């Protein structure tokens, strides 16, 4: 039985940046600002880091909403959006490991999952297959954002809740990665 490529929304080919893509670029440019504030866990810096992080996370929702609602989905956006997400979450989590607020093993598992799924997406794209993101992946991202934000504030009372929410994100991350692999294999075998 031949595998039929999945229909996908036809991305527009536009040489100019539309608003969703500009918003994605803002998220990428917020990452170095986030890192500056995360480097110092004293004074107002934790609150500033949290505010920048939550603003950047909000742009993830906003660019996707605008792209879908205005039919401005582009190849550039499909490339930049997951890169921006990975940069944001990786910068936050690695910084929190450096501040000894998150165990390195947890972040290592999350990063390995991200690399594996990115590789599978590249293989799927090479075969002109689209494997859509599932709801579990969206909940994973939400848990990682909430858990990271709770830890960034750098308040001892929020340490345990932050780690618990990150733990939920870790479980969802592994489960969604396995689901993505299962769907990929089902389409190519």
Is residue 8, in this structure, part of any structural domain at all?
no
Is residue 6, in this structure, part of any structural domain at all?
no
pLDDT digits (tens, 9 = 90+) for 48-85: 999 999 999 999 999 989 999 999 988 888 888 888 99
pLDDT (0 to 100) of residue 15: 45
How many domains does the chain contain in total? 1
User: What integer best gives the mean pLDDT of the chain?
Assistant: 89
Domain residue limits at 81 = 19-188
Is residue 11, in this structure, part of any structural domain at all?
no
Is residue 9, in this structure, part of any structural domain at all?
no
pLDDT digits (tens, 9 = 90+) for 146-176: 999 999 999 999 999 999 999 999 999 999 9
- Show the tokens assigned to 1: 């039985």
How many CB atoms are closer than 10 A to CB 128?
Answer: 11
Question: Is 72:91 a contact under the CB 8 Å cutoff?
Answer: no
Is residue 172, in this structure, part of any structural domain at all?
yes
pLDDT digits (tens, 9 = 90+) for 25-50: 999 999 999 999 998 878 899 999 99
CATH number of the domain at 155, please.
1.20.120.1760
pLDDT (0 to 100) of residue 42: 82
| % of the chain at pLDDT higher than 70 | 90
Q: Is the pLDDT of residue 126 over 60?
A: yes
Is residue 50, in this structure, part of any structural domain at all?
yes
Q: Is the pLDDT of residue 125 over 90?
A: no
Q: Is the pLDDT of residue 12 over 70?
A: no
Those residues whose C-beta lies under 8 Å from the C-beta of residue 76, and which sit 6 or more positions away, are: 14, 17, 21
Is residue 7, in this structure, part of any structural domain at all?
no
Is residue 180, in this structure, part of any structural domain at all?
yes
pLDDT (0 to 100) of residue 11: 55
Average pLDDT over residues 114-142: 85
pLDDT (0 to 100) of residue 40: 82
Distance of CA 100 to the CA centre of its chain: 22
């Amino acid at each position: 039985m031949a595998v039929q490529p999945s229909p996908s929304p036809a991305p527009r080919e536009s040489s100019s940046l539309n608003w969703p893509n500009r918003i994605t670029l803002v998220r990428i440019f917020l990452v170095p600002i986030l890192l500056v504030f995360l480097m110092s866990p004293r004074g107002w810096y934790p609150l500033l880091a949290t505010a920048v992080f939550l603003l950047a996370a909000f742009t993830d929702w906003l660019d996707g909403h605008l792209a879908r609602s205005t039919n401005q989905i582009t190849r550039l956006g499909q490339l930049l959006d997951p890169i921006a997400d990975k940069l944001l979450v990786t910068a936050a989590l690695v910084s929190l490991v450096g501040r000894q607020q998150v165990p390195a093993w947890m972040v290592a598992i999350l990063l390995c999952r991200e690399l594996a799924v990115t590789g599978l997406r590249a293989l799927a794209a090479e075969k002109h297959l689209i494997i859509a993101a599932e709801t579990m992946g969206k909940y994973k991202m939400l848990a990682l954002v909430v858990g990271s934000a709770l830890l960034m504030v750098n308040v001892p009372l929020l340490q345990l809740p932050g780690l618990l929410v990150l733990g939920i994100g870790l479980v969802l991350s592994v489960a969604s990665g396995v689901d993505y692999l299962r769907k990929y294999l089902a389409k190519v075998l």
